Amino acid sequence: MSVCIAVTNQKGGVGKTTTTVSLGASLAARGLRVLIVDADPQANATSALGIKGRDEAGLYAALIEEEPLDRSIEATSTANLWLVPTTPALAGAEVELVTVMAREFRMKRALEPLRAQYDVILMDCPPSLGLLTVNALAAADEVIIPVQSEYFALEGLGHLSKTVEMIRRNLNPQLAIRGVLLTMYDSRTNLAREVEQEVRTHFPATFRTVIPRSVRLAEAPSHGEPITAYDPSSTGARAYEDLADELIERLRERDLIPAVAPLQRARPVAAGTAVPPSEVAHGA
C-alpha cells in the first residue's frame, strides 16, 4: 500500500518545488513515511531541505547506470521525511537517456524496490516535458499539477493534460490527475478569482484547498527547512496542512495509504523532532 505522485507542470515557477517540499513535510507530520525524489536538475527541492547533493550518487546514477537508489536516500531534519537528492549533473541524464533501452521506465524501475518502505513518494519535476518528466509520469500513480492563479494558467493546463493523456495511452494506463492545485493565490484580485473559476470549470479534480501568496513560503527554502518547521502558524503552512488533509482523504478513499492520526494544528515542532510512535497510526 503506497502511492507515487509526480508534482508536475511544464511551466516554470508555478510552485512545484514549494508544493513538493511543503506537502511532503505536512504528510510526514501525520506519521506517513514520505520520500521526496528531486527529479529536477535545478536541485531546488534538495537545497530547500538543507541537503547537499553528491555528484557520484543520486538519481543520475540510478537512471543511467541503474545503481540502486536506496544508497542515495538521505534523512532530512523533518521526522518521517526522506530525500533522494540531486545535483545539476542530472541535466546530463536528460541527454544520455535518449539512447538507453526502455528509457522511459528507468525511474519506475529505480523506485520499485523502495515502494514498500514508504507510504508516499513525491517526485518534483523540472519545468519541461523532457525525458525526466516523462520518466516521472511513467513511474507515477497520480499527478498533482500546481498552477499559478494567473491568466496563462489554462493554456498550460490544456497542453499538460494532453501530455498526461499521451502517457496514459503509451506508457502508464493507470495514471490519474489527482488534482490541480491553485498556488500563489491573491484573493484580493478579480483575476485570481476568475482564473479559479475557469480552472474549476475545466478541471473538476481541482483541490478545494487554495495556496495563498505567502512571503513565509518564499523565505523557507533559504533557511533549508520546510514551512512546517520554519513558520508552522503562517497562512502558507496552514494551507499546505489543509492540502495534506484533502489529499489523505482522496487517497484513503481508494485505500492507497494507511490511516493517519489527526494532526494538532499549528503546533511548533522543532526541526528533527521525531513524532512519538503513539501519534503514528499505521496499518489500519
Which residue's C-alpha cell is 545535483?
Answer: 87
18 binds, among Mg ion, ligand ATP, none (CB under 5 to 8 A by kind): ligand ATP
Q: What are phi and psi of 243, to 5 degrees?
A: -60, -40
Query: Minimum distance between the CB of residue 215 and ligand ATP, rounded to whole angstroms?
Result: 6
For residues 85 and 53, the answer to whether their CB atoms sit within 8 Å is yes
CA distance 272 to 124: 22
Among candidate residues 283, 228, 218, the one with its CA nearest the CA of residue 255: 283
Q: Which is nearer to ligand ATP, 225 or 258 (CB)?
A: 225
- Side chain identity at residue 170, one-letter code: N
Q: Which is nearer to Mg ion, 128 or 163 (CB)?
A: 128
Among candidate residues 132, 143, 124, 149, the one with its CA nearest the CA of residue 200: 149
Residues 5-34 binding ligand ATP (CB under 6 A) are 12-18
Counting contacts by CB under 6 A, is residue 238 touching ligand ATP?
no
Query: Strands across the sheet with 142-148, in order?
Result: 74-75, 81-84, 34-38, 120-124, 3-7, 142-148, 176-183
Residues in contact with Mg ion, total (CB under 5 A)? 3
Residues in contact with ligand ATP, total (CB under 6 A)? 20
Query: Minimum distance between the CB of residue 214 and ligand ATP, rounded to whole angstroms?
Result: 4
Q: Which is nearer to Mg ion, 44 or 148 (CB)?
A: 44
Q: Which is nearer to ligand ATP, 17 or 76 (CB)?
A: 17
Query: Minimum distance between the CB of residue 244 and ligand ATP, rounded to whole angstroms?
Result: 15
Quick one: cell of 252?
484513503
Query: Minimum distance between the CB of residue 128 and Mg ion, rounded to whole angstroms?
Result: 11
211 binds, among Mg ion, ligand ATP, none (CB under 5 to 8 A by kind): ligand ATP
Sign of CA dihedral 70, 51, 6, 142: positive
Counting contacts by CB under 6 A, is residue 183 touching ligand ATP?
yes
Q: Which is nearer to Mg ion, 2 or 76 (CB)?
A: 76
Counting contacts by CB under 6 A, is residue 88 touching ligand ATP?
no
Residues 11-70 binding Mg ion (CB under 5 A) are 16-17, 44
Among candidate residues 192, 212, 147, 165, the one with its CA nearest the CA of residue 16: 147
Counting contacts by CB under 6 A, is residue 213 touching ligand ATP?
yes
User: Would you tell me which residues interact with ligand ATP (CB under 6 A)?
Assistant: 12-18, 40, 42, 44, 127, 183-184, 211, 213-214, 217-218, 221, 236
User: Would you tell me which residues interact with Mg ion (CB under 5 A)?
Assistant: 16-17, 44
